[in-house]
Chains A and B, each alone.
Chain A
Amino acid sequence: MDSNLKKFILRLADDSMILGQRLGEWCGHGPVLEQDIALTNIALDLIGEARNYYAYLASVEGKKEDDYPMLRLEREFYNCLLVEQPNGHFGDSIIRQFLFDSYHYYILDGLKSSKDETLAQIAEKSLKEARYHLHFSGEWVLRLGDGTEKSHNLMQDSLNNLVEYYEELFTPAPFEVWCMEQGYCPNLNDVKDKAIGYARQKIEDATLTWPTEYFSRTGGKAGIHSESLGFMLTELQYMQRAYPSMNW
């Protein structure tokens, strides 16, 4: 397998893995029992999706699926910065989720026609789940954006803070450029047009304002992360690092 394609698959996997891990932190602490269940459900879907990508790579490289999330170093993770941002309050997690879901849904939709059949199959399966995620987070953007004055202000602040991480999702890394040329990855500009169009409309419906001036942050796709990823990996990898080579 070409190293560009490998990096691209890891990128897809790491986005879902890291966001799933973040959502797992909500488990038992949600604002309402129903939402606790919903966030856990999304975590299950995302980690399940990541597992499919890791298992695919493992079969190609003769490794184990857990080697990828549990034994790589921080600089070897290619997830975007958005998904590793701390949970914050429920509104922060919803905005983070919504921005990711808008990208995730459309990239999976494009990946259905990937030249790589396994990727296309994983995308087909995950797309159904991503549609539900986008619906869920979009509904909460509406409720909280157009709820009370307090919720509206909190959501606007969350959006202002997190929008900085949005465009990285659509800014192709060199390995993605290669994958687009080879027909493995859909054109990220097309994904961007659809995703941003959808997201901005929903934000407007929620009576929120899409920020006009912000600095777009990048680095995740090159393995240069925010400080928080190291702490996440410390927890994620704790058992495998403390007890090397054991089965659980």
Chain B
Amino acid sequence: MAIQNLETHFQEKVDQEIKIEPKDWMPDAYRQTLIRQISQHAHSEVVGMLPEGNWVTRAPSLKRKLALLAKIQDEAGHGLYLYSATETLGISRSELIDQLHSGKAKYSSIFNYPTLSWSDIGAIGWLVDGAAIMNQVALCRTSYGPYARAMVRICKEESFHQRQGYDILLTMCRNSETQRQMVQDSVNRWWWPSLMMFGPNDSESPHSAQSMKWKIKRVSNDDLRQRFVDMTVPQAEILGIKLPDPELKWNEERKHYDFGNIDWDEFWRVVNGHGPCNKSRMEARIKAHEEGEWVRDAAMAYAEKQAERQDVQSKIQYS
């Protein structure tokens, strides 16, 4: 079949909501877009373990410590499914990790902000996981089968994390004024970066149109951001917390909340490597990888020895 026909056939399948599977023909640009997007998502899960891991040893109770450990473990698991989903597109996990470490691949900028207090762990669950879910629910219907299926599983766990984060904050806000102030401080720091998680405004997002046509992306950045704001404002009211945006107010005509302008200079500054923790996050990942090299080498060497031993064993058995 000529390339043009293949492309037409591909787009027809996408339009009919038939999932694209690993062995199906797909345009190279579709494949590359998916590799970029899914691996970026996988890297975000793995780098995201660091700011939360920062509080594992200091969690305020055993119950919270266990919940935090379990949450981070889930995130490592999400990283694994997503690396596997990316591998179905013909690239290895080690190549993907090299891309992360060389700076070629990005991860969500939100993880370049520091976790400075225990309530930041609650704020990450509530706001960061909350924003991620908005995006991920939409991705459950994405056109690439392995990605969509990974997302279904991930969404279930993420919504649990979000409730857990909110529960941390609610417990604190109801307990004492000191704790409520700690929550307010966390929300002041995490609110705007959370809104930035949806990416640039639609008018500034050059890849979006093609991704929407291929149904990789199902809802635009600005629509997802609006959904997130609409969902979050009433939750903040229950907490008794003020979201740090003087322009935030209900618009009766639009039936949505209006909100202030995002500081896009800050967004690009962090994307381009100048956030508070970009360097330390990457250093931590690279250190773990380099220090683990002898472990991976030994595991490979041992597996090869075992295979040889089995080979010799079976030859003896059948000779």
- Decide if B89 is an interface residue (CB 8 Å cutoff): no
Q: Is A146 an interface residue (CB 8 A)?
A: yes
Which of A44-52, A74-82, A130-138, A161-169 participates in binding chain B?
A44-52
Q: Contact flags (1/0) for B34-68 with A, using CB distance below 8 Å?
A: 00000000000010011011001111111111100
A160 interfacial by beta-carbon distance below 8 Å: no
Any A CB within 8 A of the CB of B248:
no
Q: A27-B69, A37-B76, A66-B62 known; A32 and B53 CB under 8 Å?
A: no
Chain B interface extent, by class: 35 or more
Smallest distance from the beta carbon of B198 to chain A beta carbons, Å? 25
Query: Is the pair B60, A248 in contact by a Cβ cutoff of 8 Å?
Result: yes
**Taking A27-B56, A36-B76 as contacts, is the C-beta distance between A44 and B302 under 8 angstroms?**
no
Interface string of B267-311 (1 = CB under 8 A from A): 000000000000000001001110111111111111101000000
> Which B residue sits closest to A248, measured CB to CB?
B60
In the complex, what residues of A have CB within 8 A of residue B79's CB?
33
B302 close to A146 (CB less than 8 A): yes
Determine whether the beta carbon of A47 is less than 8 Å from that of B298: no
A143 near B298 with CB under 8 A, answer yes
Q: Is the CB of B69 within 8 A of A44?
A: yes
Given contacts A21-B57, A147-B299, are A37 and B168 in contact (CB under 8 A)? no
B80 cross-chain contacts in A, Cβ below 8 A: 33-34, 37
Give Cα A193–Cα B27 distance, bound, in whole angstroms.
64
- Residue of A43, A148, A151, A247 near B175 (CB, 8 A) is A247
| Residue pair B305, A240 in contact (C-beta under 8 Å) | no
Give every chain A residue within 8 A of B53 (Cβ-Cβ). 27-29
CB-contacts of B156-192 with A (<8 A): 168, 171-172, 175-176, 178-179
- Say whether B175 contacts A27, CB under 8 Å: no
- Measured in the bound complex, the distance between the Cα atoms of B70 and A200 in whole Å is 33
Q: How far, in angstroms, from A28 to B201 measured CA to CA in the complex?
A: 32
CB-based nearest B residue for A64: B61
Residue of A37, A69, A240 contacting most chain B CB atoms (<10 Å):
A37
Q: Does A179 contact B (CB under 8 A)?
A: no
Closest B residue to A143 by CB, please name it. B302
Tell me whether A148 and B76 are in contact (CB under 8 A): no
Q: Are A54 and B62 in contact (CB under 8 A)?
A: yes
A28 cross-chain contacts in B, Cβ below 8 A:
46, 49-50, 52-53, 72, 284, 288
What is the minimal beta-carbon distance from B55 to any residue of chain A, in angstroms? 9
Q: Which of B250-275 contact A (CB under 8 A)?
A: none
The answer on a CB contact under 8 Å between B66 and A44 is yes
B118 at interface, CB cutoff 8 A: yes
Separation of A247 and B292 alpha carbons in the complex (Å): 39
B76 to chain A, nearest CB (A): 5
* Chain B residues, Cβ within 8 Å of A50: 62
User: B72 near A27 (CB under 8 angstroms)?
Assistant: yes
Check if A25 sits within 8 Å of B295, measured CB to CB. Answer: no
The answer to whether B292 touches A90 (Cβ under 8 A) is: yes
List of B residues within 8 angstroms of A124 by Cβ: none
Give bound CA distance, A148 to B300, whole Å.
9
**B64: shortest Cβ distance to chain A, in Å?**
6
- Alpha-carbon distance A33/B72, docked complex (angstroms): 12
Q: Does B114 contact A (CB under 8 A)?
A: no
User: In the complex the two chains form, is B65's CB within 8 Å of A47's CB?
Assistant: yes
| Residue with the highest number of chain B CB atoms closer than 10 Å, among A48, A65, A70, A143 | A143
Given contacts A41-B73, A47-B69, A246-B178, contact A239 B284 (CB under 8 A): no
CB-CB < 8 A to B299: which residues of A? 143-144, 147
Q: With a CB–CB cut-off of 8 A, which chain A residues contact B49?
A: 27-28, 36
| A236 pairs with B57, CB closer than 8 A | yes
Q: Given A32-B296, A33-B79, A37-B73, does the pair A248, B172 have CB atoms closer than 8 Å?
A: yes
Residue-wise interface mask of A (219-248) relative to B, using a CB-CB cutoff of 8 A (1 in contact, 0 not): 000000000000010011011100100111
Q: Does B145 touch A at the CB level, under 8 Å?
A: no
* A199→B288 CA distance, assembly (Å): 28
Contact between A47 and B62, CB atoms less than 8 A apart: yes
B64, B175, B295: the one contacting A144 at CB < 8 Å is B295
**CB-CB < 8 A to A91: which residues of B?**
295
Residues of A with C-beta under 8 A to B175: 246-248
A122: CB under 8 A from chain B? no
Q: What separation, in Å, do the CA atoms of A34 and B83 have in the docked complex?
A: 12
Contacting pair A40 B72 (CB below 8 A): yes
Q: With the chains together, A51 CA to B79 CA distance in Å? A: 29
Q: Which residue of A lies closest to B83 (CB)?
A: A33
Q: Quick check: B294 and A248 within 8 Å, CB to CB?
A: no
Residues of B within 8 A of A154 (CB): 294
What are 9 A-B contacts with C-beta separation under 8 Å?
A25-B57, A36-B76, A54-B62, A90-B292, A144-B298, A147-B302, A148-B298, A151-B294, A248-B64
Besides A32-B296, A47-B62, A144-B299, 20 new A-B residue pairs in contact (Cβ under 8 A), listed by A number: A27-B69, A29-B53, A31-B296, A33-B83, A37-B77, A47-B66, A51-B66, A66-B61, A90-B292, A90-B295, A91-B295, A143-B298, A144-B295, A144-B302, A147-B300, A148-B301, A150-B298, A239-B59, A246-B176, A246-B179
A interface residues with partner B (beta carbon < 8 Å)? 21, 24-25, 27-37, 40-41, 43-44, 47-48, 50-51, 54, 65-66, 69-70, 89-91, 142-144, 146-148, 150-151, 154, 232, 235-236, 238-240, 243, 246-248
